[in-house]
Structure 1
Amino acid sequence: MNQYYQPSGRITLGGLLGFVLLGAVAAVGLAFAYVYATWYIPFIYINVLLTLGFGAVLGYVLNRMTTVGKLRNPALVGWLALAVGLWAWYVQWAVYLTLLNGAGETEHAGHRFSITHTSFEPDTFLGLLTRPDLVLSMLPRIAEEGIWSIFTVKVSGFVLYLVWLAELAILLVFPWIVAHTEAAAPFSERAGQWAEKHILPQPATAFPDAEATKTALEAARWDHLQPLAAEEAANPYGRLILHTAPHDEDCCFLSLENVTIEVDDKGKSSEKTADVLQYLQVSPQVCRDLHARFGTAAVPA
């Protein structure tokens, strides 16, 4: 018997339709916002952040649709997320080419920046949206001529293709990761609800040998988990995470991670985490014991 949580693979028709339809609608809205923002903001560094934001927000939408729709099939959700991400990429190209077609006067702001005014024609956009062959055939010509510059140096050819590839990767990878991860999270089939994530506040001694820790816990040797004494200052240290369903006491899973605090040259600290194990099923009694030893949260019913 597998000791770790395994998604049931179940889906709901409403959840599936909501994921695809609302994801596609969100992709259109985000594509418009993204293209207009990058068109009128002539700063490459800001445009990079906008691209990351495009992928992140689309991923968030698909993550929420996975949760609300109770989709417990990571493989299917992952493929659908890739399809929505590809759709978002295609729509933003249709929007951009529409603006390019309506481009008019260029206004220069100094010798380094310029903004080209444009108009949006819905008929042109809809025509491009239904003609992927036409959209794709225009990309080589745009790549050859270049469409923007960095400090008066026009970006074109192979370099521009790399930029487009990175943009496509962001729109595919971000949605896939967050949607797939959510679909693989513990779910109580008995209660029909996702397990809640509880990070136990009491740190544990670090787990330098992940395989040894996994072997010990799989054999129910819970003494392998030791709370870090208050007077100890350890870096790295261990963190316990419990995933429990409020209305199903048998739905209790344990995750462990090592946490390292890193300090940069400016004295700013940040956390770096490394998974040790994920979603090991534990009994209700062990769940209560771990709460008592490592946390002050309420003991699950």
Structure 2
Amino acid sequence: MHRYSPSGAVPIAGGLMTVAGGLFAAAAMAFVYAFIIRWIPFIYLNFLATLGFGMGMGIVITMLASMGKIRSPLFVRFTWLLTLLFGYYVYWGMTMWAHGAWQLGLQVFMPRAVIMFAGYLFENGSWGLKNGDPVTSWFLVAFWVVEFGVLAYFSYIMAVANIDQPFCEQCNEWTETEKGVALYHATGLEPEWDKIRLGEFQSLVQLPLLSASLSEYVRMDVNACPKCTNSNFLSIQKVKTAIDKDGDESTKESALIANMTLSGDQLAQVRLLVDQAADAAAEAAAARTLELEEAEKAQQAAADDGNGFPPIKVE
């Protein structure tokens, strides 16, 4: 099985746009985040602000990397790390402004000023819990570590969200994703998937299509270039949904096949097999419906014959 491998190309203009845009967005969000943390004394809202700051940085990176046609996962990760560290550092400087140190101007961003401010908070704190006592010392440091961890995690998962999106080098275009080309009543453990990995696509007809809503199934996705027929990729995802006690649904996906390279003829074959399976399933469903209707009519006729009235004799 041949699968897509990014070329690692980083266009100069796209790379500069991604880095500069990421840093600028991080600085702007750090300003807002610092004042939210300082002046909104609700831990729940503070946590949401932390999530927003982290996810915001990641979303900006993935959007700019896509616009700039960055095909290097390493460069995207480097930009993410640079943006994260820059944004968090700017946040510390902005926090001094939020505490009223406007007169210091841009000096708040000097490393010495940041270190002194951190030492001040370590000794005196700036916010407290329910009892009103300020959080200080290593307990406060633990909060800082958790905060940075949340920012790092959520910014990362957003920054690399599209890192595996195939790119058509011939047309200089991202491929377009078509999710749910087919849904299968399967667990992902069926031997047919191994055959499909070897290019035996005829095995698809041996897998039943999904006919009802299930918590576990297999989904087929296709990526194809919008301008040519030479960049086609097949992905198979095992999907599992769960509903928690509050009624919220969560979905977990795991790849059985990721961006398997297809020729134009192979993609056409896959689509034809899916269509044939769908037609066969529709015919089988129609036959079952007709069979049930005939059985119901026969049952009704039998009930009418046994209603106690003698049959009418016609001479």
Identify the TM-score tier after normalising by the shorter chain: 0.7 to 0.9
SS in 2 for 1:203: strand
Aligned residues: CA RMSD: 2.5
Distance 2:186 2:267 in 1: 20
Q: Which residue identity does 2:97 align to in structure 1?
A: T
User: Residue 115 of structure 2 corresponds to which residue in structure 1?
Assistant: 136
Contact 2:210 2:217 in 1 (8 A): no
Alignment map for 1:69-218 (pairs within 5 Å): 69-102=68-101, 121=102, 124-129=104-109, 131-152=110-131, 153-209=133-189, 215-218=194-197
When residues 201 and 80 of structure 1 are mapped into structure 2, their CA distance, relative to the original with a 3 A threshold, is: same
Large movers: runs of 4+ above 6 Å: none
Deviations 1:9-67 (A, max 9, x none): 10111111101111111111111111122222110011001100111111111111100
Distance 2:181 2:199 in 1: 22
Greater RCO, 1 or 2 (C-alpha within 8 Å, sep 6+): 1
Distance 2:211 2:165 in 1: 35
Distance 2:11 2:221 in 1: 28
Deviations 1:235-266 (A, max 9, x none): 31001111111112121111121112212224
Contact 2:184 2:210 in 1 (8 A): no
Q: Which residue identity does 2:167 align to in structure 1?
A: F
Deviations 1:168-218 (A, max 9, x none): 2233333333333434320000010111111025311324339x6664333
Percent identity, aligned pairs only, is 26
Contact 1:86 1:172 in 2 (8 A): no
Q: Which residue identity does 1:87 align to in structure 2?
A: F
Contact 1:207 1:276 in 2 (8 A): no
Contact 1:95 1:125 in 2 (8 A): no
User: Do structure 1's residue 67 and structure 2's residue 66 form an aligned pair?
Assistant: yes
Q: Which runs of 5+ in 2 are unaligned?
A: 277-315
User: Residue 29 of structure 1 corresponds to which residue in structure 2?
Assistant: 28
Distance 2:200 2:73 in 1: 31
Higher gyration radius (CA): 2
User: Normalized against structure 1, the TM-score is what?
Assistant: 0.82
Distance 1:139 1:151 in 2: 23
User: Residue 240 of structure 1 corresponds to which residue in structure 2?
Assistant: 220
User: Normalized against structure 2, the TM-score is what?
Assistant: 0.78
Distance 2:258 2:246 in 1: 34
When residues 277 and 264 of structure 1 are mapped into structure 2, their CA distance, relative to the original with a 3 A threshold, is: same
Larger strand fraction of residues: 1
Larger helix fraction of residues: 2
Q: Which residue identity does 1:165 align to in structure 2?
A: V
Contact 1:255 1:279 in 2 (8 A): yes
